[in-house]
Amino acid sequence: MNFKKEFAEVLAELLNSEKTAAELELLIEKPKNAAHGDLAFPCFTLAKIKRKAPNLIAQELSEQIKAPIFEKVEVVGGYINVFLNKKLVSEKIISQIITQKGEFGTHDFGQNGNVTIDMSSPNIAKPFSMGHLRSTVIGNAIALIVEKCGYQPIKINHLGDWGTQFGKLITAYKLWGDADKVRANPISELLALYVKFHEVAETNPALEDDGRAWFKKLEDGDAEAVELWEWFRDESLKEFSRIYDLLNVEFDSLAGESFYNDKMDRIVDMLEEKGLLVESNQALVVELTEEGLPPCLIKKSDGATLYATRDLAAALYRKETYDFVKSLYVVGHEQSLHFKQLIAVLKKMGFEWAGNMAHIPFGMMLTGGKKMSTRKGKVVLLEEVLNESIEMARHNIEEKNPTLANKDEVAKQVGVGAVIFHDLKNNRMNDIEFSLEELIRFEGETGPYVQYTFARACSILRKANWQADAAVPDYHTSWEKEWKVVSHLLEFPNVIKRACDNLDPSQIAKYVIDLAQVFNKYYAEVRILEESEEQTARLALVYSVTEVLKEGLRLLGIAAPEEM
């Protein structure tokens, strides 16, 4: 139900063919102050065309608006403000939600097109960083949102399992490694080796040469190198999958950088054929001067390939395998230049589809205003953070609802949901300050607050013994007191569309917070459980709120426990 559209159609008819309904729809606003109506049409553009004062036009048009969905039309300045017919609109939307349930707000403009989403992509033998957490939860929410809009998401974990760092790691392992220690604590042990490598290499540059040599061996399939690499990879994946289980995130493909080892020659040959490869300092590069970018390094002097070479091969592979309509890369903004170069090189190669690739950047996770870094071993282990958040959620539940049956499961849903929500509630470009105490609160703009509101609404329905099917369209209420909540429900489909257009999950996070807030206000003012003529309508509204909150949370990758 799109009232902007209906309003635009009414106006278009009155205006004959001066502007199309679609053009008019874009002009319609939603007044910030509800006292100014539900929708407003500014007459300034028309005033220019008609060479007439805006308030005169508003006056003339408003007198002719006679549609049952509007109960009042007002003119203020150059604006036509319309008030929706509360009874008609509320009952329409509520019956729609009751029938559609979780399907409410679904769109089909994606037309089944494939959208590949490069997300998470942690590096083997290194801890799963906060940046990878951000990529995982933002990517997962984007996948859910585009799916809701009719696209086919394909979630790809482009594991960092190839590159010179593995040569360094093998060097370090052969010098100082201990197999038992690695087996017991793979990531922290391998990280320690990697850190030691860099410390020693500062005074002993020859070590870097050894590292490069081992990576070359790995690329050439040397048995010892490959065996060690596979072992590091397996152990790391085991640790990562614990985090993915906690986050409830799955992938359609785990084709990481190593997957492209045998697919890079083709790209290098193509670049060669198109005359795009030039030698620079004994390395092969693609010049991007015209594009205003530094050259893209394709092959090092020793013949070793690079991160960019693998991404070129991956982009082509994805186009050929999935024929995507969009190819997204959810990666921190510090890699912006890399993705600009990647897309520019592909365009130079004549691949027009490179125009459908997009880097979806995001800001950093900070503690005490500083970036959390892995290089020097200063790292917050993500699994610990998640577990700590789950513990805090359990503690909150113990206090508030000590008799809850499935405490462990709910604590997990709340603790993990809190971390995800904290990440998604801000525009993804913002840096976020990480604070466990802040994100696990049951009040304010937190995930637990939304989950708690949902659980409370569920408990009202349980107490009233309300059945979704029992809803009758014959509601005895004017919907005056309910209107604020109803008008938020009306917005849900638009919010989803906007979140999809901007690939911005924060739109949905902000929406569920707002909906929870207006609902809680309503709940404080109206005695829903007291028997009254209006009770059926009120319960139907509560039910609609639960459906929309649950679906909103689901689109963010967050569970909605019915009791907590």
Which residues bind to ligand ARG, rule: CB under 6 A? 118, 121, 123, 158, 160, 311, 329, 331
Give min distance, CB of 334 to ligand ARG, in A. Answer: 8
Report the DSSP pairing between strands 370-371 and 365-367.
Answer: antiparallel
> What separation in angstroms does the CA of 10 have from each of 3, 63, 70, 320, 490?
10, 12, 11, 47, 19
What span, in angstroms and rounded, lies between the C-alpha atoms of 315 and 148? 25
* C-beta closer to ligand ARG: residue 328 or 548: 328
**Least distance to ligand ARG from the beta carbon of 345, Å?**
14
Nearer to ligand ARG, 231 or 317 (CB): 317
**Which residue's CB is nearer to ligand ARG, number 90 or number 123?**
123
Min dist CB 191 to ligand ARG, Å, is 14
In the complex, the smallest distance separating the C-beta of residue 231 from ligand ARG, rounded to whole angstroms, is 20
The count of residues in the chain is 564
Q: How far is the CB of 119 from ligand ARG (least distance, A)?
A: 8
Strands lying side by side in the sheet with 357-360: 152-156, 114-118, 326-330, 357-360
DSSP codes joined into one string, 212-278: HHHHHHHHTT-HHHHHHHHHHHHHHHHHHHHHHHHHT---SB---GGGGGGGHHHHHHHHHHTT-EE
In whole angstroms, give the CA distance from residue 232 to residue 552.
39
Distances (CA, A) of 162 to 121, 175, 230, 269, 483: 12, 21, 11, 21, 57
Q: Residue 306 or residue 464: which is nearer to ligand ARG going by CB? A: 306
- Nearest-approach distance from CB 44 to ligand ARG, in angstroms: 46
- Quote the least distance from Cβ 313 to ligand ARG, whole Å: 11
| Helix (H/G/I), strand (E/B), else coil: 76 | strand
Q: Which lies closer to ligand ARG via its Cβ, residue 118 or residue 547?
A: 118
Report, in Å, the least distance between residue 66 CB and ligand ARG: 56
Nearer to ligand ARG, 118 or 239 (CB): 118
Q: Which is nearer to ligand ARG, 304 or 393 (CB)?
A: 304
Half-sphere exposure (CA, 13 Å, Cβ side) for 391? 8
Nearer CB in complex with ligand ARG: 231/307: 307
Closest distance between ligand ARG and the C-beta of residue 331, in Å?
A: 4
* Nearest distance from C-beta of residue 235 to ligand ARG, angstroms: 17
| 481 CB-near residues (< 8 Å, 6+ apart) | 522, 525, 526
DSSP character string of 323-378: --SEEEEE--GGGHHHHHHHHHHHHHTT-GGGGGEEEE----EEETTEE--STTS-
Nearer to ligand ARG, 121 or 341 (CB): 121
Main-chain phi, psi angles of 106, to 5 degrees: -75, 140
Q: Which residues pair with 123 in a beta bridge?
A: 160
C-beta closer to ligand ARG: residue 236 or 396: 236
> What CA–CA distance (Å, rounded) separates 420 from 120?
14
Beta carbon of residue 241, minimum distance to ligand ARG (angstroms, whole number) = 17
Residue 319: count other Cβ atoms within 10 Å of its Cβ: 18
How many whole angstroms separate alpha carbon 289 and alpha carbon 460? Answer: 64
Closer CB to ligand ARG, 123 or 453, in the complex: 123
Residue 230 CB partners (closer than 8 Å, separation 6+)? none
In the chain, the amino acid numbered 123 is N
